[in-house]
A and B are shown apart, each in its own frame.
Chain A
């Protein structure tokens, strides 16, 4: 079976298997999920190895006509961006399953919904057909609602409803946008490769691009339509936050990139100054709001808005040409790095919450002495967020900043301020919660640190961050040729 279809079919089979396993065989369900995580992980590594970075372009193409009279086909294929994002999804999926290993309530349904989400995400990253792109995109969004209302915490009903309304309002913009692209091209095909070779009328591009950008941008946590994202992150259970912030938000950015910018280059250029301003505001605004948060998860939630701002800024700077390839490389690298980093954040916060049943930063103090390992891991994620050299985000953020300074010096300066603010809110969490005198309230917490099995998912994530921090070439080699080809239009 072709590689991409195999990666897609494994979670689908897992889903069917989970549905057939009786409710009480909880352990079996977990193992099935873990196994499917391992298989997709191995297949993703194989994909990464087999992808030819020198040749670049879209590889591993599979094409089956689906609804021929409408020009819909099952068309898979990945470029360099798709390759690394498939990898990202596999990592977060596997570690997410391990993070939720101890879940006791309604295990079967949880994993069923989670696997459905994973199927959708894989589908988006691989689809070269606009219909299936949107189809999988919606599939990835749907399970968020039950996942948050059933297994979430806090103000979860509000959060879940807000999330769904925001995301589907985004889809409401995409519906006419995508269909207008199809009908205007007049090629009777939803094939993204064919459509990307068609040159659309500039006026049409300028008209329709905002619909695509904002429609996908909602999911990417674009300022000012990011409101669903922090509340959603906070209310969701750990693994769902991991997938949600780590992977799902990337779908939005990936959609902007591989539908918006790819099909409508002139529209993208026209709107880039406006949208990069929004992105820059998002970076600083997210960081400012994060400083004032009292809840661990809210800090991370707003930091995601800030960090996804960097991705969106990179995408917009890419089309402006002055430092296009740096900006695009940085943006895609940041998608990956931020995905791993937030997964690590949420997985660790989830762990601390499960032990202490509090997410309020001020409740803690000196936690480092009780949970040295968990806290160290959290610190790694935090430093990565602050852009410390030696961790993956450093390179990603550096590339985008350089591009920003070259293109719009003022924006460059503004986002460097954003970076400083990031350091402030991260360090504030460290000092209040992890260091200083131990809080008496937690002195009864004994033997609560990460051990053995629980350490595994976090260790994988840390290893990935460090690896790409020291060997950024491993990443840039894969995406650079795609970037070059991508920017050929500008």
Chain B
């Protein structure tokens, strides 16, 4: 029973997914389904919070590990699911026949990510990763307008499968190099193995599957297209919740290599170049975008680069910064997409012009978007500023002065396109008379997002300590 309690978040997910599964069978109304989805979010969140202080290896020692790191991430994932459930109460851009199934798929994906962060064995990790990925392949394609959506959904699925195939291929190398798929074995034999090229090939190939999820170079090609054309609620999930999962699993995998990777060099060099390329490419490509979601798609590539900046240090400070940034990025990104899915309720595509004059049409939404974008730029008092400060600090701890300079210059380039959006929101006159009042639930969520963005930015201590505890659990 003790052991089963450690599984509480996963079990909660499973039970609720059964409930959500039977909803369409019994022809429940959409209202019921979405109320149930929100309830699910609360339930899973409560379960995750309950297990937050617990640790152990329930049932499958060496395969599945519950520690502070995994539980913190699970809590964040549960919160993320709840937030997405709140905003997709009226998912107009999703094809109507799929409304009832949407929360179910998102919940499955959340469950997959929860298992992913606890997995400490390669096969379990792979299965969890696929569980997280498949529901997303499906929901990405559920746009009501097939014409805009068909190509990008296919692209996303094909690339995703290719990436996970590459990942699997890499795992086979790792198995060859270590003779085991258990993380503990890998970590102990690391010192000898790290001299062999096969190991680096294996690890980099394995990482590629997760780079795909994070949208890091060179597995980023899906991001702009999918961001632009997937249903709003789905892309909110991909842009916020699944980023937490991706960063977390990268932390888990790279922490295996930690004691030696910095000195050994090759892996670190490879990651450093991926980081530079991701930042530069994402930011430069975003400059020319006209579609708001597409622009954020490119910006997500740049942010993947910023996170890699911390991860390639292979230090506790780096992992702490990455975990902190994952939490912060979730909030900022969610704030932006919350607004996008509100204003774009009836539109298939959301161009930058569609937010023009938003300050007149919906002041609270405008302010939420403003703070979200300020966060992504990295301006105080939002969490984006302190998050970047921590990321850059981790790299400078390793003495990478010029790398931080490149990152900081990239952040300046990013300023331009974010400001172009802010200009539309606060200065350009509205191109439509349509005002809209968000529902009370959305208002509360938006306020919560605003408060969190500022609170994490001005009083980072609590969150930093959580991240620090998680990182030390990760390293132990």
| Interface set of A (CB-CB < 8 Å, partner B) | 66-70, 109, 131, 135-136, 138-139, 142, 145-146, 149-150, 157, 161, 164-165, 168-169, 171-173, 175-176, 179-180, 182-183
Q: Is the CB of B423 within 8 A of A149?
A: yes
Q: Is the CB of B385 within 8 A of A138?
A: yes
The SS class assigned to the B binding surface is helix
Q: Is the CB of B380 within 8 A of A175?
A: no
Return B442 CB to nearest CB of chain A, in Å: 19
Q: Is the CB of A179 within 8 A of B374?
A: no
Q: Is the CB of A172 within 8 A of B405?
A: yes
Q: Is the CB of B419 within 8 A of A161?
A: yes
List the 3 closest A-B pairs by CB distance, nearest first: A172-B408, A175-B408, A176-B404
Q: Is the CB of B461 within 8 A of A168?
A: no
Return B445 CB to nearest CB of chain A, in Å: 19
Residue among A67, A139, A161 facing the most chain B CB atoms (10 A cut-off): A67
Distance in angstroms between the alpha carbons of A146 and B465 in the assembled complex = 35
Task: Return chain A residues, CB-CB under 8 Å to B465.
Answer: 69
Return B229 CB to nearest CB of chain A, in Å: 29
Residue among B385, B390, B402 facing the most chain A CB atoms (10 A cut-off): B385
Residue B205 is within 8 A (CB to CB) of chain A in the complex: no
15 contacts between A and B (CB under 8 A): A67-B460, A67-B464, A69-B468, A70-B390, A109-B426, A135-B380, A135-B381, A146-B422, A161-B416, A161-B419, A172-B405, A172-B408, A172-B412, A173-B405, A183-B399
Q: Is the CB of A175 within 8 A of B381?
A: no
Given A145-B422, A149-B423, A179-B392, 14 other A-B residues pairs in contact with their CB atoms under 8 A = A67-B461, A68-B461, A131-B389, A135-B385, A138-B385, A164-B419, A165-B416, A168-B411, A168-B412, A175-B405, A175-B411, A176-B408, A179-B404, A180-B401
Distance in angstroms between the alpha carbons of A391 and B386 in the assembled complex = 43
Contact of A70 among B385, B393, B415, B419 (CB under 8 A): B393
Return B328 CB to nearest CB of chain A, in Å: 14
Distance in angstroms between the alpha carbons of A70 and B427 in the assembled complex = 39
Distance in angstroms between the alpha carbons of A66 and B411 in the assembled complex = 25
Nearest A residue to B425 via CB reads A146
Distance in angstroms between the alpha carbons of A146 and B390 in the assembled complex = 27
Q: Is the CB of B412 within 8 A of A169?
A: yes
Q: Is the CB of A179 within 8 A of B380?
A: no
Return B404 CB to nearest CB of chain A, in Å: 4
Nearest B residue to A174 via CB reads B408
Interface set, chain B 365-416, CB cutoff 8 A to A: 374, 379-381, 385-386, 388-390, 392-393, 396-397, 399, 401-402, 404-405, 407-409, 411-412, 415-416
Q: Is the CB of B379 within 8 A of A138?
A: yes
Q: Is the CB of B393 within 8 A of A179?
A: yes
Distance in angstroms between the alpha carbons of A182 and B427 in the assembled complex = 39
Return B99 CB to nearest CB of chain A, in Å: 37
Task: Return chain A residues, CB-CB under 8 Å to B402.
Answer: 176
Given A165-B416, A175-B408, A176-B401: A149 touches B426 (CB 8 Å cut-off): yes
Distance in angstroms between the alpha carbons of A62 and B124 in the assembled complex = 52
Q: Is the CB of A183 within 8 A of B396?
A: yes
Q: How large is the interface on B (under 10, 10 to 19, 20 to 34, 35 or more residues)?
A: 35 or more
Task: Return chain B residues, CB-CB under 8 Å to A164.
Answer: 415, 419
Contact of A183 among B381, B390, B397, B412 (CB under 8 A): B397
Given A138-B380, A145-B419, A171-B408: A183 touches B464 (CB 8 Å cut-off): no
Distance in angstroms between the alpha carbons of A393 and B385 in the assembled complex = 38
Nearest A residue to B423 via CB reads A149
Task: Return chain A residues, CB-CB under 8 Å to B374.
Answer: 142
Return A6 CB to nearest CB of chain B, in Å: 18
Q: Is the CB of B381 within 8 A of A176?
A: no
Return A32 CB to nearest CB of chain B, in Å: 19
Q: Is the CB of B392 within 8 A of A176?
A: yes
Distance in angstroms between the alpha carbons of A68 and B460 in the assembled complex = 11
Task: Return chain A residues, CB-CB under 8 Å to B411.
Answer: 168, 172, 175
Return A224 CB to nearest CB of chain B, in Å: 18
Q: Is the CB of A150 within 8 A of B464?
A: no
Nearest B residue to A148 via CB reads B427
The SS class assigned to the A binding surface is helix
Distance in angstroms between the alpha carbons of A66 and B457 in the assembled complex = 12
Contact of B393 among A150, A173, A182 (CB under 8 A): A182
Distance in angstroms between the alpha carbons of A150 and B24 in the assembled complex = 50
Return A412 CB to nearest CB of chain B, in Å: 36
Q: Is the CB of B408 within 8 A of A173?
A: yes
Proximity bits, B326-369, A CB within 8 Å = 1, else 0: 00000000000000000000000000000000010000000000
Task: Return chain A residues, CB-CB under 8 Å to B396.
Answer: 176, 179-180, 182-183
Contact of B412 among A136, A165, A180 (CB under 8 A): A165
Contact of A139 among B381, B388, B409, B427 (CB under 8 A): B381
Return B392 CB to nearest CB of chain A, in Å: 6
Q: Is the CB of B415 within 8 A of A165?
A: yes
Task: Return chain A residues, CB-CB under 8 Å to B386.
Answer: 135
Q: Is the CB of B461 within 8 A of A66?
A: yes
Distance in angstroms between the alpha carbons of A62 and B441 in the assembled complex = 41
Return B294 CB to nearest CB of chain A, in Å: 21
Task: Return chain B residues, CB-CB under 8 Å to A135.
Answer: 380-381, 385-386
Given A69-B465, A138-B379, A142-B379: A149 touches B427 (CB 8 Å cut-off): yes
Task: Return chain A residues, CB-CB under 8 Å to B464.
Answer: 67, 69-70
Distance in angstroms between the alpha carbons of A168 and B414 in the assembled complex = 10
Return B75 CB to nearest CB of chain A, in Å: 21
Task: Return chain B residues, CB-CB under 8 Å to A165.
Answer: 412, 415-416
Distance in angstroms between the alpha carbons of A452 and B235 in the assembled complex = 58
Task: Return chain B residues, CB-CB under 8 Å to A138.
Answer: 379-380, 385
Task: Return chain B residues, CB-CB under 8 Å to A149.
Answer: 423, 426-427
Distance in angstroms between the alpha carbons of A445 and B381 in the assembled complex = 46
Given A135-B385, A180-B401: A175 touches B392 (CB 8 Å cut-off): yes
Task: Return chain B residues, CB-CB under 8 Å to A67.
Answer: 460-461, 464
Proximity bits, B424-440, A CB within 8 Å = 1, else 0: 00110000000000000
Distance in angstroms between the alpha carbons of A173 and B409 in the assembled complex = 8
Return B260 CB to nearest CB of chain A, in Å: 22
Nearest B residue to A145 via CB reads B419
Task: Return chain A residues, CB-CB under 8 Å to B404.
Answer: 175-176, 179
Return B150 CB to nearest CB of chain A, in Å: 37
Interface set, chain B 132-146, CB cutoff 8 A to A: none
Return A207 CB to nearest CB of chain B, in Å: 9
Nearest A residue to B426 via CB reads A146
Return A129 CB to nearest CB of chain B, in Å: 13
Task: Return chain A residues, CB-CB under 8 Å to B415.
Answer: 164-165, 168
Task: Return chain A residues, CB-CB under 8 Å to B460.
Answer: 67
Return A263 CB to nearest CB of chain B, in Å: 16
Distance in angstroms between the alpha carbons of A145 and B415 in the assembled complex = 11
Distance in angstroms between the alpha carbons of A171 and B404 in the assembled complex = 12
Nearest B residue to A169 via CB reads B412
Task: Return chain A residues, CB-CB under 8 Å to B407.
Answer: 175
Distance in angstroms between the alpha carbons of A68 and B415 in the assembled complex = 30
Return B387 CB to nearest CB of chain A, in Å: 12
Distance in angstroms between the alpha carbons of A179 and B416 in the assembled complex = 24
Q: Is the CB of A150 within 8 A of B401?
A: no
Task: Return chain B residues, CB-CB under 8 Å to A139.
Answer: 379-381
Task: Return chain A residues, CB-CB under 8 Å to B379.
Answer: 138-139, 142
Return B415 CB to nearest CB of chain A, in Å: 5
Distance in angstroms between the alpha carbons of A182 and B399 in the assembled complex = 11
Return B422 CB to nearest CB of chain A, in Å: 7
Return B365 CB to nearest CB of chain A, in Å: 15
Q: Is the CB of B426 within 8 A of A150?
A: yes
Distance in angstroms between the alpha carbons of A182 and B401 in the assembled complex = 12
